Amino acid sequence: MSNNSTPLLEMKGVEKHFGGVRAIDRFDLRIMPRDIYGLIGPNGAGKTTIFNTITGIYQADEGQILFEGKDITKIKPHEAAALGIARTFQNIRLFENLSVKMNVIIACNMHNRYSVAEAILRLPRYRKVTKAIEERAIGFLESVGLADKADDIAGSLPYGHQRKLEIARAMATDPKLLLLDEPAAGMNEEESLELVDFLKKLHHDNPITILMIEHHMDVVSRLCEQCTVLDFGRTLAQGTVEEVKQNESVVAAYLGGEL
Amino acid sequence: MINSFYEGVIVTCCVNIIAVLGMSVLTGFTRLFSFGNAGFMAIGAYTAAICSVQFHLPFALSIICGAVAAGIVAYLLGSLTIRLRGDYFLISCLGFGECVRVLFLYLRDITGGATGYTGIPFRTTWVVALVCAIAAFIIAWNLIHSRYGQAFSAIRENEVAAAANGIDVVKYKKMSFVFSAIFAGWAGGLYAHYLRHITPVLFNLPKSCELVITTVLGGLGSLTGSVLATLVVQLLPEFFRKFSEYRMLAYGIAVVLVILLRPAGLMGYKEFPDLFKKSGKKKSTGGA
């Protein structure tokens, strides 16, 4: 399926309106398997809205979204997850009162099949699956360096760890496409650099494609080969990070005097 | 072997434990509030009673019929209302509970109307009630600690994140609702076979409120807390008979105090055994 001629994700002329506001306007996107793709733009440019239409939280008003060539425009959020689209959220959404481990276990459960009767009677398959899932969850926690915090309450973790836990949870659904909504938000330069290394390793170790929204240009230029710049729902520029940085309208709209 | 006063106390406690456990799964773990579960108790009670009296079904089968009937009604109702947001869902349940009560009041030919349904054989001895309560606890406990209960907890914690992690929110909410109704129906059926005479007024709005209040007092997200709270709520009035008229007043005050002083309830996200763990503070439950 993932040969290099079919994009993993393709958006064609996608529009989303809220009342009179065009949150996204005729948006096109092609992401090839194994890409790390950046989505940048000022606040309110419609980046998160794009994530929400991909994951089925919003339904696009116009246009088409294809995932591995399959139309997913009208998909529901849990179906998107089942197809292999995982995401994190701009303002972290953990299961706060549950343990760190349980946050990941719940995501692992997506591929976990035993019936209600097996659960209530605790039949062998239930025990076997439960044990396997728990080990798997610990594995994901180890990969983000949170294994020693497995029994802590998720909401009690420091901010940076919460971000990592959210990524671990997303990875636990075994995704093909990982959507990261401002993973470096609220991080200082040192923490951002650490995040870049972490994401590089994550991408290297797993057969995933990453689409990320990010404000920190240094993070984007270190990670992404390609990116799209948005402003007021419209696409200003698309191309490699270097090309985009040269683009005049981009400089005017977003990067301003920084370059 | 045991005098009728104590038998009455035990049966009442056990019946309420079953209904409250259902409530606990729905409210404590899935964060759906229903002020209509007395309606499901009524459906279970009347269905089981009619099965016993009219159709001479064996006791166990009558109880199962009552529980299943409540579950089916919850499934149908849930298909209509489960997508409603929190308070609207709550109101729809409240309306449903009252509808059931009034319906049973008017279906005089079937239910006996306000005078009640009589001639139900006495089958729910204290042993039966106790066995049922223990079975109900084990079922609820195992469900809550399985992927199903974990999905309920995920929905309680964050619906959007739950959906993003592959949980079909509508499906699991409906499942939780049906589960609570089955438990309520089970409790109702047992109660009918203890009282031998049931009237719609037994299953009125204050009864629904009592179930919710007990769950909140026990602590959301704690099954053992629910059991503990049921014992408190049921036993205190029994031993202070003189003041039993004031029980609703006492519930009201208790809820206000709990919400002000200890919003998590008696147990709040902890199960009884967690209290004895060394690192108790950091442990979580709610589906651990």
Residue by residue, DSSP assigns B105-116 as HH-HHHH-GGG-
Ranges under pLDDT 50 in chain A: 1-2, 257-259
What gap in Å lies between CA B33 and CA B211, rounded to an integer? Answer: 11
- Once rounded to an integer, what is the mean pLDDT over residues B253-268? 81
Q: So what's the pLDDT on residue B262? A: 80
Q: Does A89 touch chain B (CB under 8 A)?
A: yes
User: Does A200 reach chain B within 8 Å, measured CB to CB?
Assistant: no
For residue A29, what is the DSSP state? E
Per-residue pLDDT, B188? 98
Instruction: Tell me which of B143-147, B214-218, B239-243, B268-272 is least confident.
Output: B239-243
User: How close B168 comes to chain A (CA, Å)?
Assistant: 6
Q: CA of B162, closest CA in chain A: separation in Å?
A: 8
Domains of chain A: 1-84+175-259 (3.40.50.300), 95-170 (no CATH)
- Which pLDDT score, from 0 to 100, does residue B283 have? 41
| Residue B177 confidence class, pLDDT cut points 50, 70, 90 | very high
Mean pLDDT of B68-85: 96
A57: closest chain B residue by CA: B160
Q: Mutate which of B137, B139, B156, B157 to disrupt the A interface (most A C-beta within 10 Å)? A: B157
Alpha-carbon distance A48 to A53, whole Å? 9
Distance from CA of A249 to the nearest CA of B (A): 35
pLDDT in tens, B42-59: 999 999 999 999 999 999
Among the listed ranges A33-47, B180-194, B254-268, which one has the minimum average pLDDT value?
A: B254-268
Check residue A4 and give its pLDDT.
Answer: 56
What does DSSP assign to residue B274? G
Residues A242 and A259: beta-carbon distance below 8 Å: no
Q: Do B151 and A109 touch (CB under 8 A)?
A: yes
pLDDT of residue A17: 93
Pairing of strands A9-18, A62-67: antiparallel
Q: Which residues of B touch A97 (CB under 8 A)?
A: 157, 221, 269, 284, 286
B130 has pLDDT over 60: yes
> How high is the ipTM of this complex?
0.91
Record: contact A109-B166, CB cut-off 8 A: yes
Long-range CB contacts for residues A231-237, cutoff 8 Å, separation at least 24: A231/A41, A231/A42, A231/A45, A232/A22, A232/A25, A232/A44, A232/A45, A232/A46, A233/A22, A233/A23, A233/A24, A233/A25, A233/A27, A233/A45, A233/A46, A233/A49, A234/A25, A234/A26, A235/A26, A235/A27, A235/A28, A236/A41
Which residue among B157, B164, B282 places its CB closest to the CB of A97?
B157
pLDDT of the residue at A88? 97
pLDDT of residue A254: 65
Residue B288 has pLDDT above 60, yes or no: no
Residue B239 has pLDDT above 80, yes or no: no
Beta strands in chain B (DSSP E): none
Nearest to B153 among A80, A98, A130 (CB): A98
* Mean model confidence pLDDT for chain B: 91
DSSP element (H, E) containing B149? helix B147-157
- Rounded Cα–Cα distance for residues A198 and A210 (Å): 13
Using pLDDT thresholds of 50, 70 and 90, give the confidence band for residue B1: low
Element (H, E) at B163: helix B159-164
A130 phi and psi angles, rounded to 5 deg = -60, -40
pLDDT of residue A83: 96
A44 DSSP assignment: T
Higher pLDDT, B269 or A188: A188
Give the per-residue pLDDT at A255.
57
> Tell me, what amino acid is at A215?
H
Q: Which residues of B fall within a CB distance of 8 Å from A177?
A: none
Chain B residues within an 8 Å CB radius of A153: 282, 284
Q: How high is the pLDDT of residue B281?
A: 42
The distance of B152 to chain A (nearest Cα, Å) reads 10
pLDDT at position A81, please?
A: 97
Cα–Cα dist B69/B46, whole Å: 10
In angstroms, the separation between the Cα of residue A119 and the nearest Cα of chain B is 6
- CA torsion sign, B176 to B181 to B187 to B189? negative
Counting residues of chain B whose pLDDT is more than 90, the rounded percentage is: 76
H-assigned helices in chain A: 47-54, 77-83, 100-108, 116-121, 124-143, 159-172, 189-205, 217-223, 241-246, 248-250
Token representation of residue A112: 């976990």
Contact A14, A234 (CB under 8 A): no
- The structure tokens listed for B126 are 């204290």
Q: Which of A55-64, B147-156, B211-220, B265-274 has the lowest mean pLDDT?
A: B265-274
Q: Which residues of A touch B141 (CB under 8 A)?
A: none
Per-residue confidence band for B280, with pLDDT thresholds at 50, 70 and 90: very low
Q: Which of B150, B157, B167 sits opposite A105 (nearest CB)?
A: B150
Instruction: Please tell me the distance from the alpha carbon of residue B150 to that of residue B147, in angstroms, as a whole number.
Output: 5
pLDDT of residue A256: 58
B143 inside 8 A of chain A by CB:
yes
Helix and strand numbers (H, E) in chain A are 10, 10
Looking at residue A259, its pLDDT comes to: 41
